[in-house]
Structure 1
Amino acid sequence: MTDTAPTQETRPWLKSYPDGIDWDVKIDTTPVHEQFLASCAKMGEATALDFLGATTSFRDLGEAVNALAGALQTELGVKKGDRVALLMPNCPFYVVSYYALLRIGAIVVNCNPLYSLSELSHIVSNSGATVMITIDLKVTFDNAEKLVGQGHIKKLITAHFPDALPGLKKFLFKLVKGKDLAKPEKSNAARAIISYAELIAHNHAPEPVTIDPETDVAVQQYTGGTTGTPKGAMLSHANIAANLSQIDHWGCGLFYPPTKVAAVLPFFHIFAMTVCLNVPLCSGAQVVMLPRFEMKAFLSLLKRTRPNVLPAVPTLLHALATKPEATSEALSCIEVAISGGAGLPEETRQAFAKKSKALLAEGYGLTEASPVVACAALRVPSKPGSIGLPLPASDVRFLDLEDPEKSVKRGEKGELAVKGPQVMLGYFNNEEATREVFTSDGYLRTADVGYFDEDGYIFLVDRIKDLIICSGFNIYPRAIEDAIYKHPAVDETSVIGVKDEYRGEAPVAYIKLKEGESLDEKTMLGFLKDHLSKMEMPRQVIFRDELPKTMIGKLSKNDLRDDYKKHHGKGE
C-alpha cells in the first residue's frame, strides 16, 4: 500500500462530506491543558461543572488545577514523564487531577474503579505509576490501599468524596451513607496517604514545563486490544489535542456555549475522556456529571440541568428507549445523542427515534486512536446503520483479511485501518505488539471488519476476534444479533462462537427478554429461520435474567465465553 493524492476514488467519503466541513482542514495540536486553562480564563464565573447540584466555575476550576499541579511538583516531586494513576468515578476531583497532571507534563494512567485487584496491579506495575489519586469511598479506596500494601503505590492522594457534594447532600451522605466511607487516617497505608484537600489548600504555583506535543505522552490508556493482557496505549499530547480538533470541526459549533454535555459515561474510559470532558471544557461548555448511570438519577439530572448533548453507549440508549419512566418529555432536552463504544442495533435506533426527537449519530473509535475515527454527521441526518464518515485528516482503508498489506476494493469486506494525527505512538514497553498493530506504511489495524458503500459511508460488520468460522465460512455475530432483535420479546442479546466438533465453530445466542415476556428456544429458532441462513442459525439459545456488561455499559462477550465454558464445557 502507498499513500495517494486525495481523490474520490482513494478517499470515497470526500464527495459525501457535510457542507461547511473540509476533510483536509488544519488540525490544532495545542496541548489540551493549555486549551483548558485558556477556556477557564475566558469563561470566568460561568459554570464549568455540575456534580449532583454542586457547581464549579471555570475560574475556580482553573485555580484548583494550578494549585494541585504546584503541590504535585513541590510536595510530591512529580515531574515530567512520571506516570500517575487515577482511580475514581466521575467527580470534580477527577477533572482537577487530570488537567493538573497534564499541566506538569506527568502522564495520566486511567484505572477503572471496578477492576479487580489483579487487573489494577497489572496496570500500575506495568506503567510504573507509584503515585495514585483516589477518593475515600470504600469501593474505590480499599483496592487503592491494597496496592500500597503490595508495594506498587508509594503515595496515595485521597479526596474526601462528600466534599464534592452540595451542602445538604454532603450532610445527608455522611448521615445516611457514612458506612460507605473509608477511614484513611486509620488505614494500614496511612503513612503513604496524603490529603487532596490539604494539597489544594497550600496553593503552590506550578513551575513551567516544556512539552513537545508530538513526542511527549499525555495519557497511557490501557486496553485489551484484540487479545491478551491489557496494553498501555501511549497517547501523545498531539494525539489527544488532534482528536479534540477533529471533533470540533465535525461538530460545527455543537460543543460551544450554551451547550451542556451530559457526562454519565466514565471519564476513565477514552470515549468519555475525549467527548464528555476535553471537548466541552476546552470549548467553554458546561459538563453535567453523574458518578455512574442510574435511571432515576439520570432523569433527575435531565430535569434539573437540561443538557442538550448526550454521549452514550447502545445499552444506555436502549434503556432510555424501552423503560417507561424515560418519557418523551423527560428526554425532550436532548438535541444530539452520540452513540459509541459498541455497534448500535437497528432496533435500538428505531425505538429511540420513537421516543426522542434528538438526532442520533453513531460514531466509531478505539483507544489507540484517542479514540474517534469516524462519525455520522452531528447536524444533519446520516445513513442509518453506518458509523458515518472519517473525521477530518483521518485516512481509512479496508485491508484483506488474509493479507493486511493489501487493500480490498470498495464494497468488499475487510479490516478497517486508520492513519491520522490522533493515532497513538505505540504500546508502552511492547514493541512486538506495536509492530503487529501497524501496517508497513503506518496504518493502525483496528480488528473491526467493515466496508465502504458507494458514497464512502463506513459500515461495520463485526470484530475480527468475534468472527465465527463455521465450516470454513465467515459468520458475523452482529448479523445474528440484528435478526434476534427483530423479535418483539427480546430486550438484549449477544452472540458468541463456541467449539463445534463438526463445523469447527458454531454460534450460541444469549438472550435477555423484556419484562413480562416469555419465550423458549424452539420458538426463537423457528422465528430466526425466516431471517438467517442455515449456517448462521444458533446452535443453542440461552436465556438469562441479565447479560454481563463492562463498566461503560457494553455487553461483554468475554464474560459470556467464560459463562459458556463454566456451564457447558465447550467454550472457545
Structure 2
Amino acid sequence: MAGEDASLYALMESNFPVDRNRIAMELPDRGGSAWSFDDLSEGAGRCAGFLDALGLKKGDRVAVQVEKSPEALLVYLACLRGGFAFMPMNTAYRTEEVDYLVGNAEPALVICDPSRESEIAEIANRQAGAKVLTLDAEGKGSLADALAAHGNEQLPPVPCAPEDLAAILYTSGTTGKPKGAMLSHRNLASNGLALRDTWRFSADDVLLHALPIFHAHGLFVACHCALLSGARMIWLGKFDRDRVLAELPRATVFMGVPTFYTRLLAGSGLDAEAVRNMRLFTSGSAPLLTETFDAFRERTGHTILERYGMTETGMNASNPYDEERRAGTVGFALPGTEVRVTDDNDNVLPQGETGGLQVRGANVFSGYWRMPEKSAEEFAEGGWFRTGDVARIDEDGYVHLVGRAKDLIISGGFNVYPKEIEEIVDDMPEVDESAVIGVPHADFGEAGVALVVLRAGEALDEETLLARLKERLANYKVPKRAFFVEELPRNTMGKVQKNLLRDEYRETCRPAA
C-alpha cells in the first residue's frame, strides 16, 4: 500500500487481470449473463461520478439497505473509488432500527428498496437531511434511472490514505444500541491480502457466492478475496440448496455459515462428484458443530476450513490451508495479526488457560463512530483490542473459542462457559443442537438453562438429560433446567440469538410465588 494512493479500490484494480474482458461475475439469476472486470471498473467509475455530481464529498457516509445484487456491489466499489464511507444495513432491520442508524451516522445518501422509499425518506429527511434513492434485487429503481441519465462520465479514483475511513459496519446490538465500527482502507486491504494469500486465491479460482453482502462475511471476506486475486464469482442472490448444488461442479471455492452446510447435508446430491472441482470450503460467522464438520468430510472428502473474525477486526484467525484443520478450533492468527488470552486485568495467561481473547494488527478498527469513550474502553495498553470472546490456546497453538464474555454464567461465584456444556449436550444421540443461557437465580445469582432441539423422531426428558450432564460435569456447571424447543432463534448470519432466549426464559429459575 505504498505510494500516493493507499485506497482499497486502487489495490483491487491493480490485481484485476491484464485482460479486463475476463469474466468477473456470472449471474445465473439473470439468465446466465455475465459482467467482466472492465464492466466492474467502468460501472464503479460511473457510479462514483454520479455520487460526486450529487455533491457527496470524501468521507461522506452512504447508507445502503437493499437486496443483494451486482449493482449493490457496484455501489460499494464506487464508494471505495470516490473516498465515501460505505455503510451497509441488514435488510431485516425495521423502522426503529434504521431510524437509529441513520440518525447516528448522518449519511449524505441513503439507498433503499423501492418498497420502503417513503418510510426511509421520512427517516432520512428527519435524521440527516439525506438524499434517498432506490435499488431492487433486479438492479432497478431511481438509482438505476439516475445513473442512466448521468451517462458515461467517470470519477477517477480518489487518492486515500491508509487511515481514511472506508466503511462503517454496525454491530448487532445484542446488548445496548448498535455501535458503528469504523474500518479504514488499511484495515480492509491488509485483511483481504492476508486471506487471499492464506487461502491461496488466484485468478484460476471460481467463488460460488451465496452469502448476503450487508455483512462482513459476504462483502469483505468473499468479495475481497475474489477481487484481490482476479478470481471469478458465480453470484447467487441468496442461498438455495438446489441452486448451490447445481453450481458447485463449476466452482473451486465456497464460503458459508454453518447453516449452509447443515442444509447441504440434509438430503441427496452432495457427494464427491458434486464437489469434484472444489479446492476449498470455509465456514464462519457462527460456531461449526464437530458433527457437521465430520459429516461433511465423510460425505465429500473435503475438510471444512473454519475461521474466526468479527465486525471490528475482519478476520483474525484461520485453520491452516495445508496442515491439520481441527474441528472445534479456529486455527492460528492470520499473518499480520496477533492474538493472546488474558485475565480480567489484561495479564497474559499461560498456554491452555481460559480467558479473554485480545487481538492486535493492521486489521483492527480505529474505534466506534462518535463514541470515543466506548472506543477507549475496548482497548488494552499496547493497542490490544478486547474482543469480548472467551478462548484458550492449546499446546499446538490452535485457538479454541469458548464463548462470548457476555454469555458467561457466574453461578454461585463460579464461572460457567456455555459452550463446554453445549458440546456435551450436542453429542447426545437424541440431540440435534442446543444453547445454554444464564438466567436469574435466587441462591446462585445466575443458573444455567439448556434449550434443546431434538432430532426428528427422538425422545429425551429433562431428568435424563440433566443426569447425563452430572456424570460428566462438576455440579456447578450443570444447568438447573432443560427445555425442549422446535428450533433456536437465529439472526441472518446463523448466530443463535441468546439475548432473545434470556428474555424468554429469565423467570424459569425464580422461586414460585
Residue number among 24, 27, 32 corresponding to 2:8 in the alignment? 32
Q: Does 1:196 align with 2:144?
A: yes
Q: Could you say if the C-alpha distance between residues 85 and 338 of structure 1 is closer, same or farther in structure 2, counting changes exceeding 3 Å? A: same
Residue number among 161, 166, 191 corresponding to 2:137 in the alignment? 161
CA distance in 2, matches of 1:312, 1:392: 22
> 106-115 vs 117-126, which deviates more?
117-126
- Give how far 1:430 is off: 0.4
CA distance in 2, matches of 1:56, 1:255: 20
- Give how far 1:105 is off: 0.5
Residue in structure 2 matched with residue 297 of structure 1 by the alignment? 243
Residue in structure 1 matched with residue 310 of structure 2 by the alignment? 366
Residue in structure 2 matched with residue 83 of structure 1 by the alignment? 61
Q: How many residue pairs are counted as aligned between the two chains? A: 507
Residue type matched to 1:393 in 2? Answer: G
CA distance in 2, matches of 1:509, 1:390: 32
Residue in structure 1 matched with residue 355 of structure 2 by the alignment? 414
Residue type matched to 2:182 in 1? Answer: M
Q: Does 1:356 align with 2:334?
A: no
Identity of aligned residues (%): 34
Residue number among 243, 246, 252 corresponding to 2:191 in the alignment? 243
Residue number among 337, 342, 359 corresponding to 1:394 in the alignment? 337
CA distance in 2, matches of 1:323, 1:506: 38
Residue number among 209, 225, 236 corresponding to 1:279 in the alignment? 225
Residue in structure 1 matched with residue 488 of structure 2 by the alignment? 547
- Give how far 1:343 is off: 2.2
CA contact (8 A) 1:248 1:279 kept: yes
For residues 374-396 of structure 1, the C-alpha deviation after alignment (integer angstroms, 9 at most, x for no partner) is 11112332333221111111122
CA distance in 2, matches of 1:479, 1:276: 30
- 2:472 is paired with a residue of what secondary structure? coil
| 1:423-572 aligned within 5 A | 423-565=364-506
CA distance in 1, matches of 2:508, 2:445: 20
- 2:261 is paired with a residue of what secondary structure? helix
For residues 203-233 of structure 1, the C-alpha deviation after alignment (integer angstroms, 9 at most, x for no partner) is 3434446544332100011114783211111
Higher RCO, Cα 8 Å, sep 6+: 1
- 2:71 is paired with a residue of what secondary structure? helix
Q: Could you say if the C-alpha distance between residues 231 and 156 of structure 1 is closer, same or farther in structure 2, counting changes exceeding 3 Å? A: same
Residue in structure 2 matched with residue 264 of structure 1 by the alignment? 210
CA distance in 1, matches of 2:510, 2:372: 36
Q: Does 1:106 align with 2:49?
A: no
CA contact (8 A) 2:7 2:162 kept: no
Which ranges in structure 1 are unaligned for 5 or more consecutive residues?
A: 1-25, 165-183, 185-193
Residue type matched to 1:344 in 2? Answer: L
- 1:445 is paired with a residue of what secondary structure? strand
| 1:9-28 aligned within 5 A | none
CA contact (8 A) 1:398 1:408 kept: yes
For residues 441-473 of structure 1, the C-alpha deviation after alignment (integer angstroms, 9 at most, x for no partner) is 210110111122222222221111111111111
Residue type matched to 2:320 in 1? Answer: A
CA contact (8 A) 2:440 2:507 kept: no
CA contact (8 A) 1:280 1:286 kept: yes
CA contact (8 A) 2:432 2:454 kept: yes
- Give how far 1:201 is off: 5.2
- Give how far 1:60 is off: 1.2
For residues 86-118 of structure 1, the C-alpha deviation after alignment (integer angstroms, 9 at most, x for no partner) is 112321011100000111110001100101211
Q: Could you say if the C-alpha distance between residues 41 and 320 of structure 1 is closer, same or farther in structure 2, counting changes exceeding 3 Å? A: closer
Which ranges in structure 2 are unaligned for 5 or more consecutive residues?
A: none
| 1:110-121 aligned within 5 A | 110-121=88-99
How large is the Cα RMSD of the aligned pairs? 2.6
Q: Could you say if the C-alpha distance between residues 463 and 160 of structure 1 is closer, same or farther in structure 2, counting changes exceeding 3 Å? A: closer
CA distance in 2, matches of 1:262, 1:197: 30
Residue type matched to 1:355 in 2? Answer: R
Residue in structure 1 matched with residue 44 of structure 2 by the alignment? 65
